[in-house]
Protein backbone atom coordinates (compact mmCIF):
# COMPACT_ATOMS: atom_id res chain seq x y z
CA UNK A 1 0.00 0.00 0.00
CA UNK A 2 1.62 3.32 -0.98
CA UNK A 3 1.92 5.79 1.86
CA UNK A 4 -0.13 8.96 1.69
CA UNK A 5 1.38 11.94 -0.09
CA UNK A 6 3.47 14.18 2.16
CA UNK A 7 1.22 17.17 1.52
CA UNK A 8 -1.92 15.33 2.55
CA UNK A 9 -0.19 13.93 5.62
CA UNK A 10 1.15 17.34 6.62
CA UNK A 11 -2.25 18.95 6.27
CA UNK A 12 -4.07 16.21 8.12
CA UNK A 13 -1.46 16.17 10.90
CA UNK A 14 -1.84 19.93 11.39
CA UNK A 15 -5.62 19.69 11.41
CA UNK A 16 -5.63 16.79 13.85
CA UNK A 17 -3.36 18.77 16.15
CA UNK A 18 -5.67 21.78 15.97
CA UNK A 19 -8.79 19.71 16.64
CA UNK A 20 -7.08 17.92 19.50
CA UNK A 21 -6.18 21.33 20.97
CA UNK A 22 -9.84 22.36 20.77
CA UNK A 23 -10.90 19.16 22.52
CA UNK A 24 -8.25 19.50 25.20
CA UNK A 25 -9.11 23.15 25.82
CA UNK A 26 -12.81 22.39 26.13
CA UNK A 27 -12.11 19.49 28.49
CA UNK A 28 -9.88 21.57 30.75
CA UNK A 29 -12.42 24.37 30.69
CA UNK A 30 -15.00 21.91 31.96
CA UNK A 31 -12.68 20.49 34.60
CA UNK A 32 -12.33 17.24 32.70
CA UNK A 33 -9.27 15.16 31.88
CA UNK A 34 -8.59 15.65 28.14
CA UNK A 35 -7.53 12.01 27.87
CA UNK A 36 -11.13 11.04 28.66
CA UNK A 37 -12.20 12.35 25.23
CA UNK A 38 -11.30 10.35 22.13
CA UNK A 39 -11.22 11.77 18.61
CA UNK A 40 -13.00 9.80 15.90
CA UNK A 41 -12.45 11.10 12.39
CA UNK A 42 -15.46 10.73 10.09
CA UNK A 43 -14.02 9.69 6.73
CA UNK A 44 -17.20 9.50 4.65
CA UNK A 45 -16.68 10.35 0.98
CA UNK A 46 -12.90 10.52 1.55
CA UNK A 47 -10.58 8.19 -0.34
CA UNK A 48 -8.56 5.45 1.37
CA UNK A 49 -5.42 7.65 1.18
CA UNK A 50 -7.15 10.14 3.44
CA UNK A 51 -8.01 7.40 5.94
CA UNK A 52 -4.39 6.23 5.94
CA UNK A 53 -3.19 9.81 6.47
CA UNK A 54 -5.54 10.18 9.42
CA UNK A 55 -4.11 7.04 11.01
CA UNK A 56 -0.53 8.15 10.24
CA UNK A 57 -1.38 11.40 12.06
CA UNK A 58 -2.04 9.35 15.18
CA UNK A 59 -5.84 8.99 15.11
CA UNK A 60 -6.94 5.57 16.37
CA UNK A 61 -10.65 5.77 15.57
CA UNK A 62 -12.38 6.43 12.26
CA UNK A 63 -16.06 6.32 11.36
CA UNK A 64 -17.92 5.49 8.16
CA UNK A 65 -21.54 6.32 7.41
CA UNK A 66 -22.40 4.03 4.57
CA UNK A 67 -21.91 0.29 4.39
CA UNK A 68 -21.04 0.45 0.71
CA UNK A 69 -18.20 2.85 1.41
CA UNK A 70 -17.02 0.91 4.42
CA UNK A 71 -16.79 -2.22 2.28
CA UNK A 72 -15.09 -0.38 -0.58
CA UNK A 73 -12.37 1.08 1.66
CA UNK A 74 -11.88 -1.99 3.85
CA UNK A 75 -9.15 -3.67 1.77
CA UNK A 76 -7.10 -0.46 1.64
CA UNK A 77 -6.99 -0.19 5.42
CA UNK A 78 -7.12 -3.88 6.38
CA UNK A 79 -3.43 -3.89 7.38
CA UNK A 80 -3.96 -0.95 9.74
CA UNK A 81 -7.02 -2.57 11.30
CA UNK A 82 -5.25 -5.93 11.70
CA UNK A 83 -2.25 -4.24 13.32
CA UNK A 84 -4.57 -2.56 15.82
CA UNK A 85 -3.52 0.90 14.62
CA UNK A 86 -7.09 1.92 13.97
CA UNK A 87 -10.62 0.81 14.78
CA UNK A 88 -13.54 1.52 12.46
CA UNK A 89 -16.94 2.46 13.81
CA UNK A 90 -20.14 2.46 11.81
CA UNK A 91 -21.79 5.83 12.48
CA UNK A 92 -24.53 5.89 9.83
CA UNK A 93 -27.84 4.26 9.17
CA UNK A 94 -27.60 0.50 8.93
CA UNK A 95 -29.99 -1.92 7.30
CA UNK A 96 -30.46 -5.45 8.52
CA UNK A 97 -29.35 -7.08 5.27
CA UNK A 98 -26.00 -5.24 5.48
CA UNK A 99 -25.05 -6.42 8.94
CA UNK A 100 -22.62 -9.10 7.71
CA UNK A 101 -20.58 -6.62 5.72
CA UNK A 102 -20.30 -4.28 8.68
CA UNK A 103 -19.15 -7.00 11.05
CA UNK A 104 -16.30 -7.90 8.69
CA UNK A 105 -14.57 -4.56 9.28
CA UNK A 106 -16.17 -2.48 12.02
CA UNK A 107 -15.52 -3.05 15.71
CA UNK A 108 -18.53 -1.02 16.79
CA UNK A 109 -21.87 0.23 15.53
CA UNK A 110 -22.75 3.61 17.05
CA UNK A 111 -26.00 3.98 15.13
CA UNK A 112 -28.31 1.36 16.63
CA UNK A 113 -31.76 2.92 16.74
CA UNK A 114 -34.07 -0.08 16.75
CA UNK A 115 -34.30 -3.44 18.44
CA UNK A 116 -34.54 -5.07 15.00
CA UNK A 117 -31.10 -3.90 13.93
CA UNK A 118 -29.62 -4.90 17.28
CA UNK A 119 -31.19 -8.35 16.94
CA UNK A 120 -29.71 -8.74 13.46
CA UNK A 121 -26.26 -7.85 14.79
CA UNK A 122 -26.77 -10.18 17.73
CA UNK A 123 -27.75 -13.22 15.73
CA UNK A 124 -24.83 -12.82 13.32
CA UNK A 125 -22.40 -12.38 16.19
CA UNK A 126 -23.74 -15.42 18.02
CA UNK A 127 -23.44 -17.49 14.86
CA UNK A 128 -19.83 -16.40 14.34
CA UNK A 129 -18.97 -16.32 18.08
CA UNK A 130 -18.12 -12.63 17.91
CA UNK A 131 -19.00 -9.69 20.08
CA UNK A 132 -19.72 -6.27 18.63
CA UNK A 133 -19.77 -3.03 20.61
CA UNK A 134 -22.90 -0.98 20.05
CA UNK A 135 -24.29 2.39 21.04
CA UNK A 136 -27.89 3.48 20.98
CA UNK A 137 -28.39 6.50 18.73
CA UNK A 138 -30.72 9.08 20.21
CA UNK A 139 -32.42 11.96 18.40
CA UNK A 140 -32.03 14.73 20.97
CA UNK A 141 -33.07 17.57 18.67
CA UNK A 142 -36.37 16.14 17.50
CA UNK A 143 -35.43 17.10 13.92
CA UNK A 144 -37.29 14.77 11.56
CA UNK A 145 -34.24 14.43 9.30
CA UNK A 146 -32.22 12.79 12.04
CA UNK A 147 -32.08 9.12 12.92
CA UNK A 148 -32.24 7.88 16.45
CA UNK A 149 -34.80 7.00 19.07
CA UNK A 150 -36.63 9.59 21.13
CA UNK A 151 -34.80 10.37 24.37
CA UNK A 152 -37.73 9.00 26.39
CA UNK A 153 -37.52 5.68 24.56
CA UNK A 154 -33.74 5.36 24.75
CA UNK A 155 -33.38 3.78 28.21
CA UNK A 156 -35.87 1.06 27.30
CA UNK A 157 -34.15 0.29 24.00
CA UNK A 158 -30.77 0.32 25.75
CA UNK A 159 -31.97 -2.31 28.23
CA UNK A 160 -33.36 -4.51 25.47
CA UNK A 161 -30.20 -4.19 23.37
CA UNK A 162 -27.94 -4.91 26.31
CA UNK A 163 -29.86 -8.09 27.05
CA UNK A 164 -28.99 -9.57 23.65
CA UNK A 165 -26.10 -12.03 23.34
CA UNK A 166 -23.18 -11.10 21.11
CA UNK A 167 -23.58 -7.36 21.52
CA UNK A 168 -22.05 -5.18 24.21
CA UNK A 169 -23.73 -1.86 24.92
CA UNK A 170 -20.98 0.73 25.45
CA UNK A 171 -23.03 3.94 25.45
CA UNK A 172 -25.02 6.46 23.46
CA UNK A 173 -24.58 8.54 20.32
CA UNK A 174 -26.29 11.64 18.98
CA UNK A 175 -26.02 14.29 16.29
CA UNK A 176 -26.50 17.75 17.75
CA UNK A 177 -29.26 20.14 16.74
CA UNK A 178 -28.65 22.07 13.56
CA UNK A 179 -28.96 25.45 15.24
CA UNK A 180 -26.98 28.65 15.74
CA UNK A 181 -28.23 28.77 19.31
CA UNK A 182 -25.48 27.27 21.45
CA UNK A 183 -27.84 26.86 24.39
CA UNK A 184 -30.17 24.72 22.31
CA UNK A 185 -27.34 22.56 20.97
CA UNK A 186 -25.87 22.18 24.41
CA UNK A 187 -29.21 21.23 25.95
CA UNK A 188 -29.41 18.36 23.47
CA UNK A 189 -26.01 17.07 24.52
CA UNK A 190 -27.03 17.39 28.17
CA UNK A 191 -30.13 15.33 27.35
CA UNK A 192 -27.95 12.50 26.02
CA UNK A 193 -25.87 12.60 29.19
CA UNK A 194 -29.06 12.37 31.28
CA UNK A 195 -30.18 9.33 29.28
CA UNK A 196 -26.79 7.71 29.86
CA UNK A 197 -26.89 8.50 33.57
CA UNK A 198 -30.39 7.03 33.99
CA UNK A 199 -29.30 3.82 32.30
CA UNK A 200 -25.98 3.46 34.10
CA UNK A 201 -27.44 4.31 37.50
CA UNK A 202 -30.11 1.64 37.17
CA UNK A 203 -27.28 -0.70 38.12
CA UNK A 204 -28.11 -3.57 35.77
CA UNK A 205 -24.83 -5.43 35.23
CA UNK A 206 -25.46 -5.43 31.47
CA UNK A 207 -25.85 -1.65 31.19
CA UNK A 208 -23.81 -0.23 34.03
CA UNK A 209 -20.67 0.14 31.87
CA UNK A 210 -22.50 1.91 29.04
CA UNK A 211 -20.70 5.15 29.77
CA UNK A 212 -19.68 6.34 26.30
CA UNK A 213 -21.19 9.56 24.97
CA UNK A 214 -20.43 9.96 21.26
CA UNK A 215 -21.42 13.55 20.49
CA UNK A 216 -19.96 16.69 18.97
CA UNK A 217 -18.73 17.35 15.42
CA UNK A 218 -16.56 20.00 13.72
CA UNK A 219 -18.92 22.84 14.55
CA UNK A 220 -20.06 21.98 18.05
CA UNK A 221 -17.45 19.77 19.68
CA UNK A 222 -16.67 22.24 22.50
CA UNK A 223 -20.31 22.19 23.62
CA UNK A 224 -20.34 18.39 23.54
CA UNK A 225 -17.12 18.07 25.52
CA UNK A 226 -18.49 20.51 28.09
CA UNK A 227 -21.51 18.19 28.48
CA UNK A 228 -19.43 15.05 28.87
CA UNK A 229 -18.62 13.68 25.41
CA UNK A 230 -16.19 10.75 25.55
CA UNK A 231 -15.94 10.49 21.74
CA UNK A 232 -16.21 13.42 19.35
CA UNK A 233 -16.76 12.68 15.65
CA UNK A 234 -15.00 15.17 13.40
CA UNK A 235 -14.93 15.26 9.61
CA UNK A 236 -14.44 18.59 7.88
CA UNK A 237 -12.21 20.15 10.54
CA UNK A 238 -9.66 17.39 9.85
CA UNK A 239 -10.18 16.57 6.18
CA UNK A 240 -11.63 19.76 4.75
CA UNK A 241 -14.83 19.92 2.80
CA UNK A 242 -15.94 16.59 1.49
CA UNK A 243 -15.46 15.57 -2.13
CA UNK A 244 -18.78 15.19 -3.87
CA UNK A 245 -20.09 11.63 -3.27
C1 LIG B 1 -20.12 13.42 8.81
C2 LIG B 1 -20.43 13.07 10.21
C3 LIG B 1 -19.72 13.62 11.28
C4 LIG B 1 -18.65 14.69 11.09
O5 LIG B 1 -19.24 15.88 10.67
P6 LIG B 1 -18.37 17.21 10.42
O7 LIG B 1 -19.35 18.30 10.54
O8 LIG B 1 -17.78 17.08 9.07
O9 LIG B 1 -17.33 17.26 11.49
C10 LIG B 1 -20.02 13.17 12.55
N11 LIG B 1 -20.99 12.25 12.78
C12 LIG B 1 -21.69 11.70 11.79
C13 LIG B 1 -22.73 10.69 12.11
C14 LIG B 1 -21.44 12.10 10.48
O15 LIG B 1 -22.19 11.59 9.50
pLDDT digits (tens, 9 = 90+) for 206-242: 998 899 999 999 999 999 999 999 999 999 999 998 7
Of all residues in the chain, what percent carry a pLDDT higher than 90?
A: 93
> 210 C-alpha to center of ligand 1: Å?
22
Share of the chain above pLDDT 70, in %: 97
Quick one: which of 173, 155, 175, 186 has its CA closest to 213? 173
Atom of ligand 1 nearest to the CA of 236: 8
Residues 38-52: pLDDT tens digits? 999 999 999 999 999
> For residue 244, what pLDDT is reported?
63
Locate the ligand 1 atom nearest the alpha carbon of residue 218 and give its number: 9
Residue with CA closest to ligand 1 atom 2: 42
Please give the distance, rounded to the nearest whole angstrom, from the Cα atom of residue 61 to the centre of ligand 1: 13
Q: Reply yes or no on whether the pLDDT at 27 is more than 90.
A: yes
Residue 245 has pLDDT above 70, yes or no: no
φ, ψ of residue 162 in degrees (nearest 5)? -65, -25
What is the pLDDT at residue 147? 93
pLDDT at position 169 is 98
pLDDT value for 241:
84
Taking the centre of ligand 1 as the mean of its atom positions, its distance from the CA of residue 178, in whole angstroms, is 12
Ligand 1 atom closest to 92 (CA) = 13
Look at residue 66 in the predicted model and tell me its pLDDT: 96
Residue nearest to atom 10 of ligand 1 (CA): 233
Average pLDDT for 162-180: 97
Looking at residues 150-177, what average pLDDT do you find?
97
Predicted pLDDT of residue 242: 75
Ligand 1 atom index nearest CA of 237: 9
Distance 188 CA to ligand 1 centre (A): 16
Domains of the chain with CATH codes: 5-239 (3.20.20.10)
pLDDT of residue 67: 96
Q: Tell me what pLDDT residue 135 has.
A: 98
List the beta strands (DSSP E) in the chain: 38-42, 61-64, 87-90, 108-112, 132-137, 167-173, 212-214, 231-234
In angstroms, rounded to a whole number, what is the distance separating the alpha carbons of residues 177 and 146? 9
- How far does residue 40's CA lie from ligand 1's centre (Å)? 10
Cβ(30)–Cβ(225) under 8 Å?
Answer: yes
Amino acid sequence: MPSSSPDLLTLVTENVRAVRARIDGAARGAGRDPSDVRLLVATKTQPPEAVRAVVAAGVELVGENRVQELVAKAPAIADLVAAGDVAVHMIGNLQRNKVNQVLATASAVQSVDSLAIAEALSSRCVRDTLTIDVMVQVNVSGEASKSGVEPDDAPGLAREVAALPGVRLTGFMTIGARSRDDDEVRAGFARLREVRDVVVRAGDPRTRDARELSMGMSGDLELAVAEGATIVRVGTAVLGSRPAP
